[in-house]
Structure 1
Amino acid sequence: MSPLPLHLLLPLLTILLHLPPSTAATWYFLRYNLPTTQSFLSLSGTMTIPKLPKAGTYYLWPGLQPTDNSGVYQNVLDGRSGTWWIGSGWCCANPELPWGSGFNVAQGDTVTFRNERGGSAWTSSLQKGSGGQSVTDSFALNGKTFNQVLFAIELTGVSWDFGALAFKDVVITSSGTDTKWCTNAPENYNSATNYAISGVSASVSNDVVTCKISSVTLQSPK
């Protein structure tokens, strides 16, 4: 079952298409946008799991958005059951794909995520802690050109009451040679989020940009 129900697809797409946001969800996100001549090849890092105050529609995720804004490819931390669950998937249509596998996590756990483009599909890997539970899933998304990386908080019927959302050891790769998308500050949607970023560096080899970020923290709402 997809952590992002189909009825949330329209609010997601209207936000990411820069249309007025739906009242169904409250959004906080940082976004890295590529030049039109480049595309993302991979996204990896480690997410620290915050507290979950109660069961509710908390969706916290890193993800990639394609040029056609047809959906989002993401690793979603889902709080609806009252226990955090994390899994990877594509939301939601065009194409319709089954959601990937996942596992439960608790406050203070760390989850390493990696999304990587391969010869015929994108592969997502998640691992709890060091040598803990892990899952790997493939998604037929090679027809998509991903030009946006997001670190996002999506809330419906709940508030930002779980503290900071922290990502560490983030590595993003793209085609091309332009590195400014990495070294410039990301877009802060609606200037809604207090955030901190540290340890940013970019390098180019064989027409591949490697962007390394020591930490990305969505600290609190403004």
Structure 2
Amino acid sequence: MLSLATLFAVAAGLASIAVPAQAADWHFLTYYPSQGEKFTRFSGEMVAPTLPKAGYYYLWPGLQDEAHTGVFQPVLDGKSGAWWFSPGWCCGNPSLSWGGGVSVGNGDKLSFDMALDANGTAYNANVGNERSGSSATNSLPLADKVFNQAVFAIELTGVAWDFGPLVFKNVVIESTGTDSGWCNSSPSNYNGATNYTISGVSATKADNKIICSIDSVILQNPI
């Protein structure tokens, strides 16, 4: 899958896997923290939609850094004809390996958690499939990254948005700082290309940290 950096920089990183030489069709929502703050955790659940066929369907939540060098992302990947959910870094440093993954069936509820570790030395990703009980982890030396975008994304290459809504539930996004205004604001909707609904938003402050809780984020359909 391609980094969001391709949207904002002339020189984009190469994808970590082979994709067709054509532009991706993007639908994504982005939260930005308050000035001078950064995201340190992004967790929640995602419901796997019905995969219509094998194709370059990439559905993911992710943390993008302010320098646009890449995205830390667990990706629901449909290219084999069956869903596969795996966490990794795309695409600024190909030496950073992708972690293991979990097999996913249509309608499965998946968990994801990306967080800075307690020592502040690495970002850890954990993914799981509630139905099968399977899980996978990945830890990468990304502590130097200033993550200033929390993204809910649909990335399509050579295929259409033909699988219905993409549902995220029980989302928690944490940032440093004391200003919770970003949590209570609407996210950026890239090119106004997506109909979406968000419900159950609340923010708490503790220990120089903002904890933004969202009951559901639903990317409903393209505009």
Fold similarity call, TM over 0.5: yes
Equivalent residue number for residue 123 of structure 1: 124
The letter of the residue matching 2:193 is: A
Structure 1 residue 18: Cα displacement: 9.8
Alpha-carbon spacing, 1:16–1:104, altered in 2? closer, same or farther (3 Å): farther
Out of 7, 27, 43, the position equivalent to 1:15 is: 7
Aligned partners of 1:77, 1:131: CA distance in 2, in Å?
Answer: 16
One-letter amino acid matched to 1:188: N
Q: Aligned partners of 2:8, 2:31: CA distance in 1, in Å?
A: 12
In 2: Cα distance, 1:51 partner to 1:158 partner: 14
What percent of counterpart residues are identical?
A: 50
Determine the C-alpha separation between the residues in 1 that align with 2:9 and 2:31: 15
Worse-superposed segment, 156-165 or 122-131: 122-131
Matched residue, 1:56: 55
Question: What RMSD, in angstroms, separates the aligned Cα atoms of the two structures?
Answer: 1.8
Q: What are structure 1's unaligned runs of at least 5 residues? A: none
Q: Secondary structure at the match of 1:148?
A: strand
Q: Secondary structure at the match of 1:185?
A: coil
Map 1:19-98 onto structure 2 (within 5 A): 24-94=23-93, 96-98=95-97
Measured in 1, the distance between the counterparts of 2:84 and 2:6 equals 26
Letter in 1 for 2:140: F
Change (3 A) 1:130 1:207: farther
Q: Deviations over 1:151-183 (max 9, x none)?
A: 000000000000000000000110001111110
Give 1:198 shift: 0.1
For 2:131 and 2:83, locate their aligned partners in 1 and report how far apart those are by CA, in whole Å. 19
Structure 2 runs not aligned, ≥5 long: 12-20
Residue in structure 1 matched with residue 219 of structure 2 by the alignment: 218
Structure 1 position 163 matched with structure 2 position 164:
yes
Q: Is it true that 1:148 corresponds to 2:140 in the alignment?
A: no
| Deviation readout 1:57-83 (Å, 9 max, x if unpaired) | 000000000010101110100000000
**Where does structure 1 differ by over 6 angstroms across 4 or more consecutive aligned residues?**
none
Q: Normalised by the size of structure 1, how large is the TM-score?
A: 0.91
Letter in 2 for 1:98: S
Change (3 A) 1:127 1:69: same
**Residue identity matched to 2:127:** L
SS in structure 2 opposite 1:73?
strand
Give deviations 1:93-130, integer Å, cap 9, x for gaps: 24730111101101110011101101221010111116
What's the counterpart of residue 111 of structure 1? 110
Q: Which amino acid aligns with 2:41?
A: S
